[in-house]
Amino acid sequence: MNTQHIIGALEAVQASILANESQIESLDRAIGDGDHFINVRRGCDVLMAIRDELAPLPPAAAFGKIGIKLLSTIGGASGPLISSFFIAMGKSLNGVAEPDRRQFATAFVAGVEAIKSRGKADLGEKTMLDVLIPVSRMLQRLADEGAPLAELCEQLTAEAHRNMLATRDMTATKGRASFLGERALGHIDPGSKTCEVAITAVCETLKETA
Three-state SS annotation for the chain: CCHHHHHHHHHHHHHHHHHCHHHHHHHHHHHCCCCHHHHHHHHHHHHHHCHHHHCCCCHHHHHHHHHHHHHCCCCCCHHHHHHHHHHHHHHHCCCCCCCCHHHHHHHHHHHHHHHHHHHCCCCCCCCCHHHHHHHHHHHHHHHHHCCCHHHHHHHHHHHHHHHHHHHHHCCCCCCHHHHHHHHHCCCCCHHHHHHHHHHHHHHHHHHCCC
pLDDT tens sequence across 20-72: 888 888 887 765 666 788 888 899 999 999 999 999 999 999 999 999 999 98
Q: Which range among 4-18, 64-78, 93-107 shows the weakest confidence by mean pLDDT?
A: 64-78
pLDDT tens sequence across 132-189: 999 999 999 999 999 999 999 999 999 999 999 999 888 766 655 554 555 556 678 8
pLDDT given for residue 179 in this prediction: 44
Mean pLDDT for 92-105 is: 94
Supply the pTM of this predicted model.
0.90
pLDDT given for residue 208 in this prediction: 76
